[in-house]
Chains A and B, each alone.
Chain A
């Protein structure tokens, strides 16, 4: 797919660049850009969070980001430019963890492409979040299983709270 940018950025090398995402998905033919920025927040399930470490299986993640781009293009049925970038490593409160931006001729297509892409990144890409707490403890998030059986089982009941 042309007009697709996917990447994994090591936090110690750089922060995610939202301006670059908006620039990439801009086009004279496009009147709509939808953006999702996921940032590290300071609490989860009643615990004070001091930061998050992200672990990624990079080659497969990039492969899946590209597949998600193809799926978004087929789904919206309109010209599309899409940016999917996720951070890796140790992030502080407020750091952007993921940036998805979609540029299309009209707003409906932009919103739909952006939503499809971020939901797929969260539920399908090989990415793991370890939360660090104010008391010095840390824990890996429970997450979504990629097993076929688990996915069939949870699809109906999945609350999408995460």
Chain B
């Protein structure tokens, strides 16, 4: 399945469109999604640190999805770098 992931903060620089699309096996976990994003960025945005991606979380519009969760089908996700509001 194809999953679209919107980019924020420092990760916006990884793709000028502001998102990436990854192909994942159905039933993949968020941990698998994270590994797929690291691999994708290593090829398409080598300036982005893999360490930064490993400190990110994934989220829907309403909740953060931790590593053990299954990637929901047909839902646009967001990847959230460490936060610095206020």
Q: Do A and B come from one complex?
A: yes
Contacts of A114 in B (CB 8 A): none
Report the interface size class on chain B: 20 to 34
Smallest distance from the beta carbon of B28 to chain A beta carbons, Å?
18
Point out the residues of chain B lying under 8 angstroms from A82, CB to CB. none
**CB–CB B62/A123 < 8 A:** no
Tell me what chain B mostly uses at the interface: helix, strand, loop, or mixed: loop
Using Cβ atoms and an 8 Å threshold, which residues of chain B touch A146?
Answer: 56-57, 64, 80, 82-83
Q: Which of B1-57 contact A (CB under 8 A)?
A: 6, 8-10, 12, 55-57
CB distance from A47 to the nearest CB of B (A): 15
Which of A38, A97, A143 has the most chain B CB atoms inside 10 A of its CB? A143
Contacts of B53-86 to chain A: CB distance below 8 A: 55-57, 59-64, 66-67, 78, 80-86
The CA-CA distance from A146 to B9 in the complex, in Å, is 14
A-B pair number, CB within 8 angstroms? 93
Docked pose: A122 CA to B86 CA in angstroms: 5
Pick the contact of A60 from B10, B59, B84, B86 — CB < 8 Å? B59
Q: Which residues of B contact A148 (CB under 8 A)?
A: 66-67
28 A-B contact pairs sorted by A residue (CB < 8 Å): A54-B85, A55-B9, A55-B12, A56-B85, A57-B80, A60-B63, A60-B64, A60-B78, A98-B86, A118-B86, A121-B85, A121-B86, A122-B83, A126-B80, A127-B84, A129-B84, A129-B85, A130-B9, A140-B81, A141-B84, A143-B83, A146-B57, A146-B64, A146-B82, A147-B55, A147-B56, A150-B82, A162-B84
